[in-house]
Amino acid sequence: MAGPSEGRSLSAPRQCAPKPNFPSLIRFTSSDSAAYTATYDFETLTVTAPDDHILHVELNRPECYNAMNKMFWREMLDCFRKIRDDRYCRAVIISGSGQLFSAGLDYSDMQDITSQVAGKGDVARKAKFLLSLIAKYQESFNAVENCQKPVIAAIHGKCSGGGVDLVCACDIRYASQDAFFEIEQVDVGMAADLGTLQRLPKIVGNDSLIREYAYSCAKIDPEEAKHIGLVGRVFPTKEAMMTAALGLAKVIASKSPVAIQGTKVALNFSRDHSVQDGLQFMTYWNMTMLQSEDVLKAAEATINKSDKPPRYSKL
């Protein structure tokens, strides 16, 4: 599990005041979904719909530098399970409120867990407890990766520990010029266990460099992050980054949801399997999906050289 670095300028405070719920009513405006209404009501996340078929999930504990407490892990899993099943949503943006994206794990909220592990008791039972706890935390970020809707991470300021775990589970990563990244778990006496060590080497493709960052906890500035492939683009300000992220989300949302979601499934599967296995998987996938009405709509728009994308139904 990841956490904020100690002795740095933007580490999370020791205690965070309780935060009220932030109910957010999602209303899409397009004619084919005007009647759609769903409630995403969370304490640590604020969910809005900035445009048709797009959801914006904002980490919303700015007074704690968006440190990840126990409520966050439950809500993150619940949120992305809802998004997975949301038939109107076609693209997602994740960002952080306040000064930075996320300072990682909120240790002040984990004192009861720490005392349970550090106290007297049988080692096997402590291990069993930790096994269940770590698996639950991992599932929260696995839900982001396994959600078939593309997820764009928009990162500003510090992104460390669990923040890096989270963005590694996203499809696309944008950063502002003030962003920086730290794989800092070694500095808090542990090995990262929520996905950075598993996903980041495949994202970057340079095993030696990732080991250097993980062992040294060195800061990765935005230009270096772009150079190694951790982020795709760097923007001068958070505002410019959010505008670009929304623009990309709009483009994605205008495409066939059958094609977009199938593409994400195929990319994730092929990343973890051989080329031949990936081709075999797509044979079975497209034997069904090529029968979709979306294929006919897209072909008709191409033949007619339409200036507007087809109107695809909810999926």
Q: What is residue 250's predicted lDDT score, i.e. its pLDDT?
A: 97
| Closest by CA position to 145, among listed 314, 271, 288 | 271
Q: What is residue 150's predicted lDDT score, i.e. its pLDDT?
A: 98
Dihedral (Cα; 23, 29, 33, 35), 10-degree rounding: 60
Residues of the chain with pLDDT under 70: 1-38, 112, 114-115
Rounded to 5°, angle at Cα 308 from 303 and 313: 90
Q: What is the DSSP string of 25-84?
A: EEE--SGGGTT-EEEEEESSEEEEEEETTEEEEEE--GGGTT-B-HHHHHHHHHHHHHHH
Asked if 158 and 100 touch (Cβ cutoff 8 Å), the reply is yes
Q: What is residue 16's predicted lDDT score, i.e. its pLDDT?
A: 54
The rounded Cα 5 to chain-centroid distance in angstroms is 21
Q: What is residue 282's predicted lDDT score, i.e. its pLDDT?
A: 95
d(CA 3, CA 308): 46
Domains by residue range for the chain, with CATH: 45-254 (3.90.226.10), 257-304 (1.10.12.10)
Predicted structure pTM score: 0.85
